[in-house]
Amino acid sequence: MSSTTHYKTAAEDRISLKQKVAYAIGMLVNNLQAAALPAMVVILNLGLGMDPVLVGLLGAIPRIFDAVSDPMLGYISDNTRSRWGRRRPFIFTGALTAGLIFALMWQLPEGHSQMFYFWTFLTASILFFLAYTIYATPFVAFGYEMTPDYHERTRLHAFANTVGQLAWLGVPWFYALMASNLFKDTVHGARVLAVWVGVIVALLGIVPAIFCREKQTTAPKAAEGFLKNMGQFLKGIGTTFKCSPFVKLCGATFLVFNGFQLGMSFSLYVMIYYVFNGNNADAGKLMGSFGTLTAIFTLCVIPLTGWIATRIGKRKTFMITISLSIVGYAIKWIGYNPDYPYWLLFASPLVAFGTGSLFTLMGSMISDVCDYDELQTHQRREGVFGAIYWWMVKVGMALAGLLTGVLLKVSGFDVALEAGQADKTLLLLRVFDVGIPIITSVMALGIIATYGITEQKAHEIRTELESRRGKK
C-alpha cells in the first residue's frame, strides 16, 4: 500500500465524549501542577532574596528522587491488580496529596536565613514531586491505552491538551497577581495563591479517577520476592531505553520543551530590567499579556495540529510546527524594545506552535511506540514508558532551573543592583532568552527527521498484535 494511505477509525475504537472530558480535566490538573511551581519559584529569589544558584538547586535536586520514583511508580501501576483498576487508585490518591502539599509548601515565614528557606523548601519539594508522580504517571499511562487507533489517539490528545492548555491562560499572570496590591508583598501573594492552586488540584484531579473507565487488561504476573521484582523492574528500564523510536521522542521533547522553559526563565528578567528599567508592575503586565496571548493561540494550535496530523502524519506535522516556532523565537529579539514593549506580542502566535503541538503529537506517538514495544517484548508497559518520558521532561525542567541560576551568574546579574544592571548583562539575558530555544528546536528537528513509525507502519504493527493475541 502507498505510504500516504489513510485508515478510517472503527466505531469501537472511538472514545466517548464523557471519557474525553474526564481525561481532559485530568490533563488540566496535570498541566497546572507542572506550570505553577516554575511560575512561582521566582519569588524565592525576588521576594525572599535567595541566591539564584540555590533556587536552581531547589529545582534540580528533587529530580534525583524522580529518577527512581517515576519509573518505579510506572512499573507498579503496570502491574497493579485492584477492583478499581491499575491506574485510578493512584490518580485519586495523588491528586489529593499533591494539592495539600502544594498549598503548604509556600507558607514560608519571613525573616529567616537563606539556608532555612533552602532546606525547608527542598523537603517540601521532594514530597510534592512524589505526590505529583503518584498522580501523573498513571494518568499519562491511562491516556496511552484508551484506544488502539492511530488517529483516535491523536484526537484524544488534541482534545485533552486543548483543555489542559487553559492552565497556561492563568499561570502567566501569577507574578502580576502576587505583585499586585491585593497582597502586602509577593511572598504573601504566593502563600494565598498556593492555597487556591492546591484546592483546584485536589478537587479536579480526582475527576478522571472517578469518571474514566479502564479497559480490561490483564496485568502480568509479578515475580515473587522483592529482589526478583526489582530485577524485573531494572530489566524493563533497560529494555525501554533500547527502544529507538521512544528514545528519539524523549530526546526531541527534552530539547523543544526544556529549551523553551530555559529561554522563558529569562523573559521576566529581560522585561523587568531591560524593557521597563526595573518596573515590576509593568513587566508583570507584559509577562501576563504575552503568556495569555500565547496560551490563546496555543488553544488554536492544538486542534489544528491534530487536524493536520490526521492528514499528513505526525512526523511531518512536527517538522512544520516546530519550524514555525523557531521563527517566533527569532521575532522575540525584535519584540524586546523599550520604546515599543508590546511589539513582543507579535511573536506569540508562532511561539505557540512549539509547545502547543509538542505534547499533542508526542502523547499520540508514544501510544504507537507502546504497540511497537509490545511487538518486540510481548508486554504492555504504558506506565513505564509514560514515567520515563515525563521524567525526562522533568529532568529537563530541573536542568533549566539550575542553568537559569548559573547563567544569571554568568551574565553578571545582581538583584541588589535593581535597575542598574550592566549593558553586557542585559545583552546576555536576551541572548539566552532567544538563542537557547532556537538551537534546541533545530536539534529536535534533526532527531525527528529519522523517526520511522508512520501511519502505515503503525497499522501493520496493530494488525500483527491483534493476530498474535486475538482481537477482542
Q: What is the pLDDT along the chain (472 residues), one digit of tens a residue?
A: 444 567 788 888 898 999 999 999 999 999 998 888 888 888 888 888 888 888 878 877 887 777 678 878 888 888 777 778 888 999 999 999 999 999 999 998 888 888 999 999 999 999 999 999 999 889 988 888 888 888 899 999 999 988 988 887 778 788 888 888 888 888 888 899 999 999 999 999 999 999 988 775 554 554 454 445 556 666 666 777 788 999 999 999 999 988 998 888 888 888 988 889 888 888 888 888 888 888 889 889 999 999 999 889 999 999 999 999 999 999 999 999 999 999 999 999 999 999 889 988 998 999 999 899 888 888 878 888 888 887 787 777 777 777 887 888 898 888 778 888 888 988 999 999 999 999 999 999 999 999 989 888 988 998 898 888 665 5
Distances (CA, A) of 435 to 260, 327, 332, 427, 441: 10, 11, 10, 12, 10
Q: Tell me 301's DSSP state.
A: H
CB contact at 8 A, 309 and 361 = yes
Q: What pLDDT, on the 0 to 100 scale, is given for residue 368?
A: 93
pTM for the whole structure: 0.75
- CB neighbour list of residue 109: distance below 8 Å, 6 or more residues apart: none
The Cα–Cα gap between 120 and 26 comes to 29
Q: What pLDDT, on the 0 to 100 scale, is given for residue 23?
A: 94
The Cα–Cα gap between 442 and 301 comes to 20
Please name the residue that has the C-alpha cell 499579556.
289
Q: What pLDDT, on the 0 to 100 scale, is given for residue 71?
A: 79
Q: What pLDDT, on the 0 to 100 scale, is given for residue 384?
A: 81
Q: What pLDDT, on the 0 to 100 scale, is given for residue 226?
A: 44
Distances (CA, A) of 69 to 59, 129, 320: 16, 9, 35
The torsion angles phi and psi of 413, rounded to 5 degrees, stand at: -65, 135
Q: What pLDDT, on the 0 to 100 scale, is given for residue 3?
A: 47
Q: What pLDDT, on the 0 to 100 scale, is given for residue 232?
A: 61
Task: Determine the 3-state secondary structure of 441 from DSSP.
Answer: helix
Please name the residue that has the C-alpha cell 551574565.
411
The kind and range of the H/E element at 262 are helix 244-265
Distances (CA, A) of 431 to 56, 117, 150: 19, 31, 40
Q: What pLDDT, on the 0 to 100 scale, is given for residue 247?
A: 93
Distances (CA, A) of 122 to 57, 113, 191, 261: 9, 14, 17, 21
- Burial of 11-33, coded b for 16+ CB within 10 Å and e otherwise, reads eebebeeebbbbbbbbbbbbbbb
What angle is formed at CA 361 by the lines to CA 78 and CA 441, rounded to 5 degrees?
Answer: 115
